């Protein structure tokens, strides 16, 4: 698997990005506008562009796909007709939820309601035949079964097995049936039910799309399809279609894989990632070594799906700027997406966006945007901003403030001092805000990786085949190492078997055993690798994060988790020799750049550089603009930039 030529294709809200090795230690990149109604069309166009058209033009053996399909379906409620089977008297479990208030001080809080109408809920009355009739009468596209306490061996789990077997016989291939003890064998009834329901509701939406794409890839390119999952690993198209809830944060996970791979190659420790695309911005804190996995929440829906720790804010290049009922200026979360796109794209959009504000400030240039092959219309951007009576610098100030809050949550909120971190900024718009944000948080160094606008697609090439399996324990942490190993044995055997079924050699599988622990009377769960003195390590981590620890309190082992990985390759090869070089700018143009972390009032004549022409060792003093095919980087006054041996731009204040 590791020696096969591979393509990485990431479908975002605005653009679909594709990357392939060029055979000379570098990469070829293609960006195509996303086709929202038929996402596979943009994926196939990218594949054709990178392979020369198909089998006769250097076809790939494998395409690794990152997708927002499952994420968008959960956020918009455009899901399949899933029937939910619950314990008698608990049919409204998911509708009631946790009764949590997302906005604590809101005078009129709006509860988050799942798109699960009461007519699609069946309560188990005790008769299997009656339950089957009730489900069939609702004409399901998929079925989710979640009975109280079914996560542990006992009567409830046996009942789930009985119901699942009867429904599979009755429905056949017409509707897949998911049981909670198989999908999410963990405590927390609401989250377990939500997870199995999400699998069922996504299966009729995501499954056919993945199978269709896999078929087209085989027919046109002879390529196999693998899909990025939220845990930072990949799975076959068949496995991904059978467990679609695992794709809830497929796209952002790829960017984190790429960032950690580059950080490891560079020798960086803990990093803060900032991925700003066209629709949203994702931030995360990645400590050295293996990235932590945590249960996910998508649109307020808590899932027992482990994923990389992403914080998302609804601000991207395509986010609309608008005024509320009181006349206050707001940015996002509604986005122009790929169609119609920002006003400056000239594709029918008339409402102002963050990208329009950047163009009006001179921070985007038509000669550098997608290599000059995508025209930008400054007059349309200016007209859109006039329609809401907003200065472009005001729009950017508000957008940046929202992203700053997300970065603070991901760093300070997790017990990390931003002054000790390096900010990795990518996505098509990441470099436009990176120095501005770093100055506000006191971050001493910014890294703009190679191909920043297609960095998530590059991360797909770094992701290993992976299985993440969990089982509930809810008992004191065993002191004996042998007793702890026994908790993992069945999970490890299953993970190895599933990877082997996808062609991963047994000798190449690496297994990590993780203990998920919490203190008595607490809700916060810490996931730590199994090893000597797990309770002591729990208290030390508690002290690091919260500033105190109570060693006298018992520690509960909530769950045992196994992470099994196949082989992977770091796409960032040995560093090239860097020689000091001060390049000459290609042109000068007026631009409004941030100064000392704040928006200035007037434009200044600013040099522009083409990043593709900057060799390792090149150094630039701000103020300057650095444009490239997949993104633009703003270098404010008082900052310097150099190109390291990996082709990354390293930005630092003087």
Q: What angle do CA 257, 259, 263 make, to 5 degrees?
A: 120
What would the pLDDT profile of 16-71 be if each residue is shown by its tens digit?
Answer: 999 988 877 778 888 888 887 788 889 999 988 888 765 444 556 799 999 888 88
Question: Distance between CA 576 and CA 646 in Å, rounded?
Answer: 7
**Residue the block writes with tokens 């007793």:** 483
Task: Give, rounded to a whole angstrom, the gap between the first and last alpha carbons of the chain.
Answer: 46
Tokens 């809810």 -> residue: 474
User: Taken in order 91, 93, 94, 96, is the CA torsion positive or negative?
Assistant: positive
Phi-psi category of residue 129: left, alpha or beta, with phi > 0 → left and psi -120 to 50 → alpha:
alpha
Helix (H) or strand (E) holding 635: strand 631-635
Question: Which of 496, 448, 419, 412 is closest to 611 using CA atoms?
Answer: 448
Locate the domains of the chain by residue range.
74-205, 466-565, 587-653
> Quick check: 331 and 402 in contact, CB under 8 A?
yes
In whole angstroms, give the CA distance from residue 236 to residue 226. 5
Q: What is the spatial distance between Cα 215 and Cα 222, in angstroms, rounded to a whole number? A: 9
At 166, which helix (H) or strand (E)?
helix 155-171
For 332-347, write each residue's pLDDT tens digit: 888 887 788 899 999 8
What is the predicted pLDDT for the residue at 2?
Answer: 42
pLDDT of residue 56: 46
HEC string for 231-278: CCCEEEHHHHHHCHHHHCCHHHHHHHHHHHHHHHHHCCCCEEEEEECC
Chain mean position to CA 321: 24
Question: For residue 197, how many other CB atoms are within 10 A of its CB?
Answer: 33
Interatomic CA distance for residues 15 and 33, integer angstroms: 4
Q: What tokens were used for 628?
A: 């490239």
**Domain 466-565: CATH class, spelled out:** alpha beta
* Helix residue spans in 298-391 (DSSP H): 354-360, 378-386
* CA–CA distance, 274 with 292 (Å, rounded to integer): 17
Tokens for 445, please give them: 């160094």
Q: How far is 224 from 422, CA to CA, in rounded Å? A: 36
The DSSP bridge partners found for residue 18 are: 9, 30
Phi, psi angles (nearest 5°) of residue 159:
-65, -40
Q: What pLDDT does 481 receive?
A: 94
Name the packing angle between helices 39-51 and 189-221 (round to 10°): 40
| Range list of β-strands (E), 494-618 | 510-519, 526-529, 555-565, 587-591, 604-610
Cis? peptide before 623, omega within 30° of 0: yes
Closest by CA position to 479, among listed 397, 426, 534: 534
Q: By CB neighbour count within 10 A (0-12 exposed, 13-18 middle, 19+ buried), where does 416 fall?
A: middle
The answer to whether 252 and 452 have CB atoms below 8 angstroms apart is no
Query: Using CA atoms, how far apart are residues 264 and 259, in angstroms rounded to an integer?
Result: 9
Task: Report helix, strand or coil for 355.
Answer: helix
Check residue 418 and report its DSSP letter. Answer: G
Instruction: Flag residues of the chain having pLDDT under 70.
Output: 1-5, 53-60, 595-601
Residues 6+ away with beta carbon under 8 Å from 341: 14, 33, 318, 347, 348, 349
pTM of the model: 0.89
Sheet (strand 82-87) strand order = 121-124, 82-87, 142-146, 177-179
Rounded Cα distance, 608 and 585, in Å: 5
pLDDT at 595: 67
């Amino acid at each position: 698997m590791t020696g096969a030529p591979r393509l990485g294709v990431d479908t975002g809200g605005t653009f679909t990005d594709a990357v392939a090795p060029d055979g000379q230690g570098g990469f070829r990149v293609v960006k195509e506008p996303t086709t929202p109604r038929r996402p596979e069309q943009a994926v196939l166009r990218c594949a054709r562009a990178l392979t020369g058209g198909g089998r006769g033009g250097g076809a790939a053996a494998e395409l690794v796909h990152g997708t927002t399909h499952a994420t968008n379906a959960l956020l918009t409620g455009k899901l399949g007709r899933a029937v939910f089977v619950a314990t008698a008297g608990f049919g409204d479990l998911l509708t009631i939820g946790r009764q949590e208030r997302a906005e604590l001080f809101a005078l009129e809080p709006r509860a988050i309601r799942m798109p699960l109408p009461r007519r699609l809920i069946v309560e188990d009355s005790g008769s299997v035949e009656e339950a089957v009739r009730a489900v069939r009468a609702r004409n399901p596209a998929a079925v989710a079964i979640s009975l109280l306490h079914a996560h542990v061996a006992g009567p409830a789990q046996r009942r789930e097995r009985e119901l699942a077997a009867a429904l599979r016989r009755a429905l056949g291939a017409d509707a897949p049936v998911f049981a909670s003890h198989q999908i999410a064998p963990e405590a927390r009834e609401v989250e377990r039910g939500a997870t199995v329901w999400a699998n069922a509701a996504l299966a009729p939406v995501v499954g056919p799309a993945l199978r269709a794409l896999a078929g087209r890839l085989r027919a046109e390119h002879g390529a196999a399809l693998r899909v990025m999952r939220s845990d930072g690993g990949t799975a076959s198209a068949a496995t991904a279609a059978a467990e679609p809830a695992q794709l809830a944060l497929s796209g952002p996970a790829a960017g984190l894989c790429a960032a950690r791979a580059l950080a490891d190659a560079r020798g960086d420790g803990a990093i803060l990632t900032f991925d700003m695309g066209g629709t949203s911005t994702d931030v995360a804190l990645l400590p050295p070594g293996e990235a932590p996995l945590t249960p996910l929440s998508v649109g307020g829906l808590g899932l027992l799906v482990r994923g990389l720790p992403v914080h998302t804010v609804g601000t991207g290049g395509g986010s609309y700027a608008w005024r509320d009922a009181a006349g206050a200026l707001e940015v996002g979360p509604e986005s122009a997406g790929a169609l119609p796109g920002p006003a400056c794209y000239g594709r029918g959009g008339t409402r102002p966006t963050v990208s329009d504000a950047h163009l009006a400030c001179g921070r985007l240039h038509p000669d550098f945007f997608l290599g000059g092959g995508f025209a930008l219309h400054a007059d349309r951007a200016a007209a859109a901003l006039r329609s809401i009576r907003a200065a472009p610098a005001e729009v950017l100030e508000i957008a940046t403030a929202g992203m700053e809050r997300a970065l603070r949550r991901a760093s300070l909120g997790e017990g990390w001092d931003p002054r000790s971190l390096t900010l990795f900024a990518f996505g098509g718009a990441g470099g436009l805000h990176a120095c501005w944000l770093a100055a506000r948080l006191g971050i001493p160094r910014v890294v703009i990786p190679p191909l920043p606008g297609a960095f998530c697609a590059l991360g797909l090439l770094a992701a290993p085949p992976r299985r993440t399996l969990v089982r509930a324990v809810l008992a004191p942490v065993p002191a004996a190492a042998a007793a702890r190993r026994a908790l993992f044995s069945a999970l490890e055997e299953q993970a190895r078997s599933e990877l082997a079924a996808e062609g991963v050699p047994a000798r190449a599988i690496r297994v990590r055993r993780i203990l998920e622990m919490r203190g008595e009377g607490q809700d916060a769960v810490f996931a730590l690798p199994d090893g000597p003195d797990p309770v002591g390590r729990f208290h030390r981590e508690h002290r690091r994060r919260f500033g105190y620890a109570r060693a006298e309190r018992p520690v509960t082992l909530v769950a045992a988790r196994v992470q099994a990985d196949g082989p992977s390759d770091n796409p960032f090869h040995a560093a090239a020799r860097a020689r000091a070089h001060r390049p000459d700018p290609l042109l000068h143009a007026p631009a409004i750049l941030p100064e000392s972390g704040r928006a200035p009032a007037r434009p200044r004549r600013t040099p522009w550089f083409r990043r593709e022409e900057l060799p390792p060792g090149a150094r630039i003093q701000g103020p300057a603009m650095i444009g490239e095919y997949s993104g633009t980087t703003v270098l404010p006054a008082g900052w310097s930039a150099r190109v390291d041996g990996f082709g990354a731009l390293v930005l630092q204040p003087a």
